[in-house]
Structure 1
Amino acid sequence: MTNLKQLLHHIEVIQTRGNAPESIENIHFDSRKVQANDLFVAVKGTQADGHQYIGQAVALGAKVVVCETFPKNLSDSATYIQVANSAKALGWLASNYYDHPSKKLKLVGITGTNGKTTTVTLLHQLFRKFGYRVGLLSTIQNYIDDTALPARLTTPDPLELNRLIAEMVKAGCTHCFMEVSSHAVVQERIAGLHFTGAAFTNISHDHLDFHETFANYINAKKQFFDQLPPTAFALINADDKRGMVMLQNTVAKTQRTFALKQFADFKARVVESSLQGLFMEIDDVEVWFQMIGYFNAYNLLGIYAIAVLLGEDTTETLTLLSGLQSVPGRFEKIIGESGATGVVDYSHTPDALENVLQTIFELRQSGQKIITVVGCGGNRDASKRPIMAQIACQYSDVVIFTSDNPRNEPPMQILEDMQEGVSIDDEPKTSLIASRKDAIRKACELAQKQDIILVAGKGHETYQEIAGVRHPFDDRLVLKAFCSKIAHISSSCCYYLNYPYL
C-alpha cells in the first residue's frame, strides 16, 4: 500500500469529490488492469480518451480516479481528483510511486530527429567500459547493465519508465542513457523525471503527421530543455541552425555546444573519411573510429562531450570510444568476398537518407553503382514521401521504391506518392515493387561486382507491419540470403543481435 498524500506530491489538485483513502495499491491508466484499491488515471490519448473508461475502472475496484473532468455520475465507492493535465499528473504519480528513481542515478536524455539511438547505445557501451553499471532506454532495446529487455516505444509510458529506472537503481546502475522522443515530451511521458543532462543532436523533417507543423515539432524538442532543472547540463549541436533555440529558456546551469563547422565548446575535425571508418581530431588528439560518415562524426563528438560533462577523463574517453562498434541497423555493412557491399540503415527521414546516401556517394570508388531500396511508412507523415524519393534519385544509379511498414495504407498508394518526387530525367532508373522481399531480391540481381546496395528505412526492425499485423522480416537476413556473393555480416555490426543463425 502507498500513501495517497505522498503520491499527490508536486501535483496541483483543482478539486476533490469524495472521501479519499489514506493509501492505494497500484496505479493504472489502462482501465482493464485495475483491481481493488487501485488508483486510475484518465488520460486523453491519441487513440482513446481514458475519461470514457472511468466507470469501468470504478466497477473493477478503483478507489481513486485522477481526471481532468468529472464524469456525470459519481460513484460513492470512489474518490475523484480533478487536475489540469492528467497525463502530466501520471508522470508525477509514477515518479512518486517508485520513490523518484531518476534522482538516484545520473539520467541523461538525448533528443533530435537523427542520432538518438546511436548516441545512447554507444554511451551505454562506453560507460560500461569505464566500469559502471549502466541503464539504456532506446528504440532498439532497453538494458539494465547487461540484461536486455524488449523495447516497444522510443520512450515508454511513465509507469513503465519509472519501473525500469527503479530496477536499474536496484541493480546498482549509476547512469542511464535515454532516448527522448518529441511524442514523449508532448504527451508528458517524461513528467516527474529528474535529468542530470540533456543533449540535442539535430532536427529535420519528421513526425508532421503528429505535430502538424514543423514549428510544433521544434517546440516539442525545446520543451525538453525548458523543463531541465538548474543542476543539469544542456548540450546542443551548434551546427544545426535550430540548436541554439533549445537553450533560449532553459535554466540548466551548464550550457555547452559541439560542432564540426563553427566555434563550439567541443570542436572536432574530420581528417579522413572512408568506408572503413573515421579519422578525427578531437581536443587536439587524432583518433581513429570504426563508425562511417560525417553524421557519425557528430554522434561521436556528442558522445565525447557528454562523457566529459559527466566528469570522465578526456584521454580515457577517446581511447575507449575509438574501440566501440556500430549500432544494429545504423549503416550496418554486409560485406561480400567478391567485393560487393550491402548497407542496411534505419534512415526513414529525408535528412537521414541524404546523410547515408551522400556518405556512400562520396566514398564510392570509380565504377561502383549505388542501388537503393527505400520506402515510406504508412499512416505517417505523407509529405516526406516525394522528398525522400527525390533524394534517393539524386545519389543513386538505380532506385527501387518498396514497402516499409505500410500499416493500414495500400502499399502501391505510398509508392505512387513517392514517385511524385521523381523528375522525368530520373524516371528510367526507378521502379516500384510493393513486396519488400522482391525489391531486395531485384536489387541483388541487378548488382554487379563492387556495387553498393543500400536497403533503407527499417534498419534493426525484425518485422514488417501490414494491415495491423507484424510479420517477421529482417532486412539484414533477406539481403544476405539473396546476395549470394555477399558472404558475411561485418562483425563490427553484431552488438545486441540475437540471431544465432547469422
Structure 2
Amino acid sequence: MKLKDLLYKVELIEIIGNVDSEILSVEFDSRKIQKGTLFVAQSGTQVDGHDFIQKSIESGAITIVCERKPEEINPNVTYVVVANSSIALGIIASNLYDNPTEKLKLIGITGTNGKTTTSTLTYNLLESLGYATVLISTIRILVHGNEYPSSHTTPNILTLNKIFSEAVQKGCEFAVMEVSSHGIHQNRIAGLHFQIGVFSNITHDHLDYHKTFAEYIKAKKKFFDELPKSALALTNLDDKNGVVMLQNSAAKRYSYALKTDADFKAKILENQFDGMLLLLDGKEFWTPLIGQFNAYNLLAVYSIAILLGIDQEEVLTHLSKLKNVDGRFQTFKSQGGIVAIIDYAHTPDALENVLNTIQNIRTRNEKLITIVGCGGDRDRTKRPEMGKMAARMSELAIFTSDNPRSEDPEEILKEVEAGVEPQFYNRTLKITDRKEAIKTAYKMAEKGDIILIAGKGHETYQEIKGVKHHFDDLETAQELSNQLNK
C-alpha cells in the first residue's frame, strides 16, 4: 500500500520525503523490521521507540512515523512527524487492513468487574441467534467459533485489525471486545470504530498503574468521550460513576439498572445455587447464572441486543439458555456433597459481590470457607481490603498465594492479613501453598459446606519469579475432593 493511503486521516505535523513510496509492512517493534517497513516510534511507558529509529533504518525501514525528528535525516527515508504516535499507529493499522471495524458493528465493554463475562455472554448470545460474531476477550479470541491464539491480554492494534479484517472476509456482522483502562490510556484502541460503548462499573483496581482513583476514572471516561455521534453509549446507573462516564460523550445515551429508573430494568425474583429467576423489562425468565453481579451482566447483554435491533422475545429465549463463563461463579458439587465455587474475584468489590451472592443463597446451617490471595506486582492497596472482606463474611478464611510474580508470597499474605479485624483473627489461616490451602479447606469441610476459591478463576497457571507453573483451581479442587472422598 502507498504511504499516502496509509496516512489517510492521520493528524500530520510535518512530512519529509516521498509519500508515494510502497509500504510492504507496518511495525512498532524494531526487532521485526524488514525491507520496505514503516516503523512507528512510540513514546512508551518503559521503552521509547524513538531510541530505535536508527536501528530500524539499518534493518530496512523506509518510513519513520515519530513525534520527534531525529537529529540526522537519512535522504532515503521518509519521516512523518505526528502529535501522538500511538494514535497514528491505530489509524495506520486500520487503513492497512481497509478499516474493517467500519464494516462490523463493534461493541466495546469497559469497567472494573464483569467485562469478560459480559463480552463472552454477548458473543454467545449473538452466535446463538445466528449472527457471525467476533470475540476479543482476555480469556479467548473467537471468530465465528474459530479460536485464535491468545496471550490473555488485549492484542496490539495491528493484530486486532488483522483479526477484524479476517472476520469481515468470513462474513462476520458483529464484534464484541473488552476495553481495558490500560488500552484506553495508551491509545491502543485508536482507529477502531465502535458502534456501542458499554460501562459496567468502576471500583478500586489497577492503582499500581493509574496511581489514583481519579486517574482510573479519567481513563475509563476517555473511551466514552471519544465515541462519535453515530455511536450508542450504555451505562450502569446503579454505579455512582455511571452518569459521570457519559457526561461529555457525543454518542446517544442509554442506561440500565436494577435499583434505579433506567431505559432497561431488571429485578431478581429468585436466587438459588442452580440459577435465578429474573424480571427483565417486565418479562420473567430463568437463567442458570447466579447472583446480583450476573443479573447486571445479563441486563447489559440484553440491553446491547435490544439496541442492536434484535427482537425481544428472541433475545429472552436465547438469553435464558446461556451458561456461565469459565471461572466466573463456576460451581460443582463433590460426591461428598460439598459445593465448590471457582471465581475470578480479585478486587475487594468483586469478592464482596461473590460473598454477598453466597450469603443470599445459603441456609446458614453450613460453613463457608473462603480461599483468597492477592497477585504480586499489582495494586497493593486492595490487599488488606480483601483480607478484611474474606474474614468478616466467612466462617473460615484461608489466605494463600495468587500469582506472586516477583514478590515474596509471605510478604503479600502479611499485607492481606493486616486488614483482618481483631474479632475475626480466629477465623483465618495462612497457607502459602495454594494446593495445600484447597486441600485443607476440603479436610475441614463437611457435607453441605461451601468452599469459595477466589482470585484466579479461568487461569491455569501460577506465576512465580517469572515462571508460569500449571495450576487450575477447578481441576485441583475436583482432584482433591476425589482423593479425600469428599
TM-score (norm 1): 0.94
Establish whether residue 45 from structure 1 lines up as the match of residue 58 from structure 2.
Answer: no
When structure 1 is superposed on structure 2, of 194-203 and 423-432 the one drifting more is 423-432
Cα distance in 2 for residues equivalent to 1:75 and 1:373: 60
Q: Secondary structure at the match of 2:266?
A: strand
User: May I ask how many residue pairs the two structures share in their alignment?
Assistant: 486
Cα distance in 1 for residues equivalent to 2:178 and 2:485: 34
Q: Which residue of 2 aligns with 1:453?
A: 451
Establish whether residue 27 from structure 1 lines up as the match of residue 17 from structure 2.
Answer: no
- Partner AA of 1:51 in structure 2: H
Q: Which residue of 2 aligns with 1:116?
A: 115
Q: Percent identity at matched positions?
A: 51
Cα distance in 2 for residues equivalent to 1:315 and 1:58: 59
- Partner AA of 2:399 in structure 1: F
Aligned CA distance change for structure 1 residues 48 and 486 (closer, same or farther; 3 Å): farther
Q: Which residue of 2 aligns with 1:358?
A: 356
Q: Which residue of 2 aligns with 1:375?
A: 373
Q: Which residue of 2 aligns with 1:93?
A: 92
How far the C-alpha of 1:22 sits from its partner, in A, is: 2.0
How far the C-alpha of 1:20 sits from its partner, in A, is: 4.4
Q: Spell out the pairing of 1:14-413 with structure 2 (5 A cutoff).
A: 14-252=13-251, 254-413=252-411
Cα distance in 1 for residues equivalent to 2:336 and 2:170: 47
Q: CA RMSD in A?
A: 1.4
How far the C-alpha of 1:256 sits from its partner, in A, is: 0.7
Q: Which residue of 2 aligns with 1:493?
A: none
Q: Spell out the pairing of 1:458-473 with structure 2 (5 A cutoff).
A: 458-473=456-471
Q: Which residue of 1 aligns with 2:442?
A: 444
State the 4+ residue runs in structure 1 displaced beyond 6 angstroms. 485-488
Q: Secondary structure at the match of 2:422?
A: coil
Q: Which residue of 2 aligns with 1:483?
A: 481
8 A contact 1:341–1:486 mirrored in 2: no
- Partner AA of 1:218 in structure 2: I
Q: Which residue of 1 aligns with 2:421?
A: 423
Establish whether residue 433 from structure 1 lines up as the match of residue 409 from structure 2.
Answer: no
- Partner AA of 1:130 in structure 2: L
Cα distance in 2 for residues equivalent to 1:45 and 1:343: 40
How far the C-alpha of 1:318 sits from its partner, in A, is: 0.6
8 A contact 2:134–2:141 mirrored in 1: yes
Superposed CA deviations along residues 450-474 of structure 1, whole A, max 9, x for unmatched, are 1111111110011111111111111
How far the C-alpha of 1:170 sits from its partner, in A, is: 1.0
Q: Secondary structure at the match of 1:412?
A: helix
Cα distance in 2 for residues equivalent to 1:153 and 1:44: 24
Q: Which runs of 5+ in 1 are unaligned?
A: 489-502
Cα distance in 2 for residues equivalent to 1:481 and 1:387: 31
How far the C-alpha of 1:21 sits from its partner, in A, is: 4.8
TM-score (norm 2): 0.98
Q: Which residue of 2 aligns with 1:497?
A: none
Superposed CA deviations along residues 98-144 of structure 1, whole A, max 9, x for unmatched, are 11000111100000011111111111111111111111000110000
8 A contact 1:155–1:189 mirrored in 2: no
How far the C-alpha of 1:366 sits from its partner, in A, is: 2.9
How far the C-alpha of 1:486 sits from its partner, in A, is: 8.9
Q: Which residue of 2 aligns with 1:9?
A: 8
Cα distance in 1 for residues equivalent to 2:348 and 2:441: 21
Aligned CA distance change for structure 1 residues 434 and 195 (closer, same or farther; 3 Å): same
- Partner AA of 1:31 in structure 2: S
Q: Secondary structure at the match of 1:23?
A: coil
Q: Secondary structure at the match of 1:196?
A: strand
8 A contact 1:335–1:486 mirrored in 2: no
Q: Secondary structure at the match of 1:421?
A: coil
- Partner AA of 2:462 in structure 1: Q
Cα distance in 2 for residues equivalent to 1:58 and 1:125: 45
- Partner AA of 1:304 in structure 2: Y
- Partner AA of 1:280 in structure 2: L
- Partner AA of 2:363 in structure 1: Q
How far the C-alpha of 1:71 sits from its partner, in A, is: 2.5
- Partner AA of 1:415 in structure 2: L
Cα distance in 1 for residues equivalent to 2:384 and 2:73: 52
8 A contact 1:154–1:180 mirrored in 2: no
Aligned CA distance change for structure 1 residues 65 and 323 (closer, same or farther; 3 Å): same
Cα distance in 2 for residues equivalent to 1:153 and 1:272: 34
How far the C-alpha of 1:84 sits from its partner, in A, is: 1.1
How far the C-alpha of 1:438 sits from its partner, in A, is: 1.6
Q: Secondary structure at the match of 1:344?
A: strand
How far the C-alpha of 1:283 sits from its partner, in A, is: 1.9
